[in-house]
């Protein structure tokens, strides 16, 4: 009786330690760090010769080989995945969402493959494959229960990491989109210089700044003479090219850190020269 109680206490302690898996990983953590921590804990439960992590690609929903230890075993693990899919074992284990041990189909005959589905209530994240010696006594029912606990904890950490990475990408995409919208809202579509809307907003600020600090401010209104003749004689595409070259020429002459050029309208431009 005492031996049974001691075994139960030991099992409970192991489960509690595995349940603290996420506390061992500093958030946010990438997939390689999560995989490394998972493999380290799994090796404390069963003998592992090598292992691989397959994750679900969000766009194709296919299982992609993401990590392997050692890396040289990547081709063999890919063959193992393909073989397990072909015989139907992979889909059964994935549907059950429970760890399972099965004979290896691509590695040596004396090795077994332990497949550990990574899944949460909402989604399937991937599959872990680890190679262990074939002897059934090496992987007990208790080991499989503990691996199940570890796998669930790893799945939660991995899901949080994936969600964090997605939010970060979405935030960066939104920031880039906002920057582009702001740029386009302030720029003339043809020449790339500032447009009249920017001029109407920024010019009063330049004037107030010059008055407040009693500093010089020069404004130059530039007009291209006989521009209508260019359009009539050579076409509007040629006229557009003239405007673009004119703006490029002016931008090479003015100071990029303080001066700015705005298209006032048509072939008229305003050159703002502080100081």
The residues annotated with a catalytic role in the active site are: 267
Residue 113 buriedness (CB in 10 A; 0-12 / 13-18 / 19+): buried
Residue 101's SS3 state is strand
109's enclosing H/E stretch is none
Measured in whole angstroms, the distance separating CA 267 from the mean position of its chain's CA atoms is 45
Residue 120's SS3 state is coil
Backbone angles phi, psi at 25, to 5 degrees: -115, 125
Give buried/exposed letters for 119-141 (b at 16+ CB in 10 A, else e): beeeebbbbbbbbbeeeeeebee
Give the start-end residues of each E strand in the chain: 50-56, 63-69, 100-103, 111-119, 124-133, 217-223, 260-265, 268-274
Give CA separation, 116 vs 39, 85, 128, 187, 190, in Å: 12, 14, 5, 55, 58
CA–CA separation, 100 and 103 (whole Å): 10
Q: Is the peptide bond before 70 cis (omega within 30 degrees of 0)?
A: yes
CA–CA separation, 7 and 1 (whole Å): 10
Contact 138, 132 (CB under 8 A): yes
């Amino acid at each position: 009786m005492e031996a049974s109680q001691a075994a139960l206490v030991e099992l409970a302690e192991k489960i509690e330690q595995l349940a603290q898996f996420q506390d061992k990983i500093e958030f946010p953590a990438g997939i390689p760090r999560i995989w490394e921590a998972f493999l380290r804990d799994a090796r404390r439960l069963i003998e592992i010769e090598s292992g691989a992590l397959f994750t679900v690609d969000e766009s194709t929903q296919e299982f992609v080989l993401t990590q392997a230890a050692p890396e040289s075993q990547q081709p063999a693990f890919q063959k193992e995945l393909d073989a397990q899919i072909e015989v139907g074992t992979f889909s059964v284990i994935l549907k059950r969402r429970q760890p399972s041990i099965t004979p290896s189909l691509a590695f040596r005959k004396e090795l077994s493959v332990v497949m550990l589905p990574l899944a949460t209530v909402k989604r399937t994240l991937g599959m872990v494959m680890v190679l262990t010696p074939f002897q059934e006594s090496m992987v007990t029912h208790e080991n499989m229960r503990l691996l199940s606990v570890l796998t669930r904890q790893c799945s939660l950490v991995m899901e949080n990491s994936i969600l964090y990475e997605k939010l970060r990408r979405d935030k960066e995409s939104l920031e880039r989109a906002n920057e582009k919208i702001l740029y386009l809202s302030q720029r003339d579509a043809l020449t790339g210089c500032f447009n009249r809307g920017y001029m109407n907003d920024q010019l009063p600020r330049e004037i107030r700044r010059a008055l407040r600090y009693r500093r010089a401010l020069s404004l130059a209104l530039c007009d291209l003479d006989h521009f209508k003749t260019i359009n009539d004689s050579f076409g509007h595409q040629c006229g557009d090219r003239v405007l673009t070259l004119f703006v490029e020429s002016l931008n090479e002459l003015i100071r990029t850190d303080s001066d700015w050029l705005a298209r006032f309208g048509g072939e008229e431009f305003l050159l703002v020269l502080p100081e």
